[in-house]
Structure 1
Amino acid sequence: MADFEVDEKFSLKEVLITFQSCLSDNEEVLVDSYVAGWRVLVRFMNSLGTIFSFISKDAVNKMQIMVNHRNGENGDKYLTIQSMVQYELNNNLVDLKKRGDYSESGCRTILRLQRALLWLKLFLEKLRTSSEDDKTSIMCTEAYNDSLAQHHSWVIRKAATMAFYALPARATFFEVMNVGTQEQVVSMLEEAVPLISKVHEITENLYSQSNLLELP
């Protein structure tokens, strides 16, 4: 798996394609496709300026950690999130005792991406069901409060909420998706958001069963 650039033009269709490819035939989450999906989502955030930079920069760092795992000598153990969890748990590579060890373990890294993925999924769903007059700042803040906010300090939460007030109008979000008309954007979101949701849910259930949802 190669290193990547994330400054290309965003396209919602790529979100659809990458998350369609995330699941294997037995519904295991493929790490390469998961990271590829995140690569596209980072381009979405970057296309809106610096407002989301506090999240996108962290996501890029986490994506690179996963690329490094895949390129490492045990890269085959990181083929799917399922095989990664099994490998790291079997080899005591996860900070289950919350000592601050293994800060770049795959399990911890994916967990952080999962939290941000939930926020983006909720926000995209709100955009899909919104009306022309709905404020994107309110939609984004509500999605943030239902996901990432609980894992951030008060200072970060305050800064994020203030940043969201500068979000562009709904029409601008639809334009940067590079799909076509607003109706076409809504239609593609109807396909893409459930795919993101399924990948998130399968991973979340795995983490819950493995007692990994509270990794420091």
Structure 2
Amino acid sequence: MAGSAVIEEQKFSLQEVLDTFKLCLSENQDVYVEHYVAGWRGLVKFMNSLGNVFTFISKDAVNKIQILVNFLNGENGSHYVTIQSMVKYELDNQLVDLDKRGSHPESGSRTLLRLHRALRWLELFLERLRTSTEDSKTSVMCADAYNESLSQHHPWVIRKAAGMAFCVLPGRPTFFEVMNVGGAEKVVDMLGDAVPMISKVYQITEDLYSQNNLLELP
């Protein structure tokens, strides 16, 4: 029974991701770090449920999630409740590596930026899945989404490995199956709710980082 409980825990649920990203935003449109991280845990399950194809991203995401959780649970955790409060606190206290000296390689702001960039790729890919047809190639959709977003932040070696990984992606029915929602129509409907929520959280974060000149943190 314990084994099946573990398997169940690791099972991806699109509904869970939708619910979590809905919780991300406060009334003032601040982004709660706790729910952002929880949403990312769900997205990691999504990537892992498709085998080892996305390991190069999911492993890094797990590492970044843990760093943010440590900040949230740390002595200054009250400053890390929202992305907005985190950025303000770290900038006010010179805890962000703005001058490329490597003095704060794991600041919360830098760590979240890495997840933020990957979130854009997943948002674009999920939207392509939503609007795709049965015979659409997931490898092409995923590669196009990657090239539009995350690839520009990766060195050539990783871009090459990613291109090869995408070539062996399963077909659209497999992706829809791992969503654990039901038939294709239900998946498309739920993606229609989930993608805009992810997009909204992404855009609020993007605007915040842009206003504070943090989008190119080393």
Settle same-fold status: TM greater than 0.5.
yes
CA distance in 2, matches of 1:56, 1:103: 20
- What is the CA distance between 1:15 and its match in structure 2? 1.0
User: In the comparison of the two structures, how many residue pairs are matched?
Assistant: 212
What residue is the counterpart of 1:185 in the other structure? 187
- Where is the helix percentage greater, Structure 1 or Structure 2? 2
Q: Does 1:176 align with 2:178?
A: yes
Q: TM-score under structure 1 normalisation?
A: 0.97
What residue is the counterpart of 2:3 in the other structure? none
Equivalence map 1:1-216=2 (5 Å) = 8-216=10-218
- What is the CA distance between 1:164 and its match in structure 2? 0.3
- What is the CA distance between 1:163 and its match in structure 2? 0.4
CA distance in 2, matches of 1:165, 1:8: 25
- What is the CA distance between 1:8 and its match in structure 2? 1.1
Moved over 4 A (4+): none
**Secondary structure of residue in 2 paired with 1:101:** coil
CA distance in 2, matches of 1:15, 1:66: 18
1:27-52 Cα offsets, whole Å, 9 max, x none, are: 00000000000000000000000000
- Paired residue type of 2:123: K
- What is the CA distance between 1:99 and its match in structure 2? 1.2
**Secondary structure of residue in 1 paired with 2:45:** helix
CA distance in 1, matches of 2:15, 2:103: 39
- What is the CA distance between 1:10 and its match in structure 2? 0.3
CA distance in 1, matches of 2:207, 2:151: 21
CA distance in 1, matches of 2:171, 2:102: 41
CA distance in 1, matches of 2:200, 2:144: 21
- Paired residue type of 2:150: L
Q: TM-score under structure 2 normalisation?
A: 0.96
- What is the CA distance between 1:101 and its match in structure 2? 1.9
State the Cα RMSD in Å.
Answer: 1.1
- What is the CA distance between 1:122 and its match in structure 2? 0.3
CA distance in 1, matches of 2:75, 2:193: 37
